[in-house]
Amino acid sequence: MKLKIFYLTLFLTGLMTTACQSFGPEVSSPPPSSLFTDTWNSGIDKSEPSFHIQNIDANTVVFRQSLRTTFEAPFIYLLFGEDRALLIDTGVEGGGLRTEVDKQIEQWLLSNKRKKIQLTVMHTHGHGDHIGGDSSFQDRPNTEIVGHTPEAVSDFFGIADWPSESVTYDLGARLVEILPTPGHHPAHVMVFDSATHILFTGDTIYPGRIYFKCGKLDALTKTIDKVATFAKTHNVQWFLGGHIEMMATPGEVFPQDKKSRRGEHLLELPVSNLKDFQAGLKDLLNKLVITEYDEFILLPHPADPRGKKPPNWCLTED
């Protein structure tokens, strides 16, 4: 009898597991975007181009590298001032970003009746999916490429006191502010654009998995507190990060390797999101576990999924 109950339980468990796998989370559509006309390409069309490009305005261009070429599908930003264009990140290697950036710059020069403009290539941080296209810009005329260590970023922008000091960088009638924001990566920075009131947040704030080594919880907490103060005093309207990994359905995330993602979350996150973020990081001080929220997931790693280990069990420091 006991054996029959055991097999019945096994059968029902199997049935439930199969049902969950078949149906998965409900796919919902995101609300209309406040910034973009089109829904971002998300690998549904196998023949989608290597980059999906949309403008926020005539001087602000956003590129998304195709999910069909990389599961990271990073977002890359190009800002034009009167004297200088600023490229934030270069994506995953081999995507052909240089050609697309050159086309956008040529179009902008034509529209603005200009012959040339300087280009600065910088990065939100030094991970491979944000610096992968650097080599294709190395021989580009009128171009400077910023390194991706705290020292290199500080030297280029003139930051004397990393990570406490933020500095202004002038693109010509368009000021951006460079904020050191370590936590996800030691040289992570965010870029605030005073023209659009957008804070480009890299991989520190975006609708997806916010990875950080558990020994960096303190650095990330300080960063998020700093961003909260900055957002209040600088009228930040939106956060635009490096990826979309969440679904439009609150709290649901796509499997990392899924190349076709129907029902993605919007790219932009509202500033109100920070309250959850700050509260979530404080909770992690007591119990260092993966924690899911409606619009992001805090993902200390390597993490103990049961949360039974103390918060100081990390061995790695960088």
Q: Which stretch binds Zn ion (CB under 5 A): 12-20, 242-250, 264-272, 287-295?
A: 242-250
Sign, Cα dihedral of 31, 33, 37, 40: negative
- Decide if residue 203 touches Zn ion (CB under 5 A): yes
CB 128 within 8 A of CB 95: no
Q: How many residues bind Zn ion (CB under 5 A)?
A: 3
The least distance separating Zn ion from the CB of residue 277, rounded to whole angstroms, comes to 17
CA–CA dist 128, 91 (Å, integer):
8
Burial of 296 (0-12, 13-18, 19+ CB in 10 A): buried
> Which tokens go with 145?
């490429």
Residue-by-residue DSSP string for 218-285 = HHHHHHHHHHHHHHHHTT--EEEES---BBSSTT-B--TT-S--SSBPPSEEEGGGHHHHHHHHHHHH
The least distance separating Zn ion from the CB of residue 72, rounded to whole angstroms, comes to 6
Q: Which stretch binds Zn ion (CB under 5 A): 2-10, 90-98, 121-129, 233-241?
A: 121-129
Q: Which stretch binds Zn ion (CB under 5 A): 96-104, 220-228, 234-242, 267-275?
A: 234-242
Q: Which stretch binds Zn ion (CB under 5 A): 81-89, 154-162, 240-248, 280-288?
A: 240-248
The least distance separating Zn ion from the CB of residue 244, rounded to whole angstroms, comes to 11
The least distance separating Zn ion from the CB of residue 113, rounded to whole angstroms, comes to 37
Residue-by-residue DSSP string for 33-92 = PSS-SSPPP-S-STT--SEEEEEEETTEEEEEE-TTT-TT--EEEEEE-SSEEEEE---S
Return the number of the residue (30 or 242) whose C-beta is nearest Zn ion. 242
Return the number of the residue (88 or 105) whose C-beta is nearest Zn ion. 88
Angle at Cα 78 formed by Cα 275 and Cα 32, nearest 5°?
50
> Which tokens go with 248?
């439009």
Return the number of the residue (112 or 256) whose C-beta is nearest Zn ion. 256
Of residues 100, 129, 264, 268, which one binds Zn ion by CB under 5 A?
129
- Decide if residue 280 touches Zn ion (CB under 5 A): no
Considering only residues 58-117, where is the footprint of Zn ion by CB under 5 A? none
Return the number of the residue (133 or 242) whose C-beta is nearest Zn ion. 242
CA–CA dist 98, 101 (Å, integer):
5
Q: Which stretch binds Zn ion (CB under 5 A): 4-12, 125-133, 185-193, 208-216?
A: 125-133
Residues that bind Zn ion (CB under 5 A): 129, 203, 242
